[in-house]
Amino acid sequence: MTNTADTPVVSVRRLLVVTVTKGYHHESIAVAEPLLADLAERTGEFTVDYARTDEDLARKMSSAGLQAYEGVLFANTSGDLPIPDPQAFVDWVRAGHSYVGVHAAADTYHHFPPYLEMLGAEFLWHGAQVGVTVHNIDPGFPGLEDFGPNLEIPLEEMYVFQKFQGDQVHLLLYLDQHPNDQTPGLYPLAWSRQFGEGRVFYTAFGHRDDIMTAPWFVDHLLGGIRWALGLAAGSATPRPLPEI
């Protein structure tokens, strides 16, 4: 088809999905892969490629390999991944690319502070899976428009974080009490951030298979991906945190 001045040119973004684990391996990874492929096909706005092995990482996440992508998504990765140059990856995001982290992405690279700085927090602990009431602080963010001010999650593994950079990120979802002992406090669950010229989105959900396929989570994840890839408008401006 010949383009004319009246025909917009749509740039399809290329997203690399990393599922390598060096710690706990989540069974929901097997659900995440086809889900992401379906979302890419459904929207037609991005494509997905996968890094499932150390060999994939060595090739696709080298400095040269990363040039084939606009963004990288860590789908329940864990431990210290054998990326050829982790600092080069962080710098690649900072230079204007996209990073999306799902659940155990926060349980990755505990020994590499630049990654944790980029992410905005570090996984500390989780207790038994529980039901929680999640608060939505930004219903205008992509994927959260139909979430409502609160959402009841019947059962999920809820992370508690350390080193949360509340003054550097744009909080989206949170708890106002500890998920297991109900102690009042601020417990972040999802956020966006501007990282240099790049965009970072993280969600703590995604431990369970049924969460991965729940309509609210699918909308939430797709919205975060679209925002990170520059396909949807949304805020990354830090603001005062909720008072608990």
**Strand 98-102 to 198-203 pairing:** parallel
Mean pLDDT of 53-68: 98
Residue 6 confidence (pLDDT) above 90: no
The pLDDT of residue 4: 35
The pLDDT of residue 3: 33
Residue 10 confidence (pLDDT) above 60: no
Domains of the chain, earliest start first: 13-228 (3.40.50.880)
Polymer length in residues for the chain: 244
CA 234 vs CA 52, 66, 92, 199, 221: distances in Å: 30, 25, 22, 11, 14
Residue 2 confidence (pLDDT) above 60: no
Residue 240 confidence (pLDDT) above 50: yes
pLDDT in tens, 131-190: 999 999 999 999 999 999 999 999 999 999 999 999 999 999 999 999 999 999 999 999
The pLDDT of residue 11: 82
Residues 6+ apart with CB under 8 A from 54: 20, 82
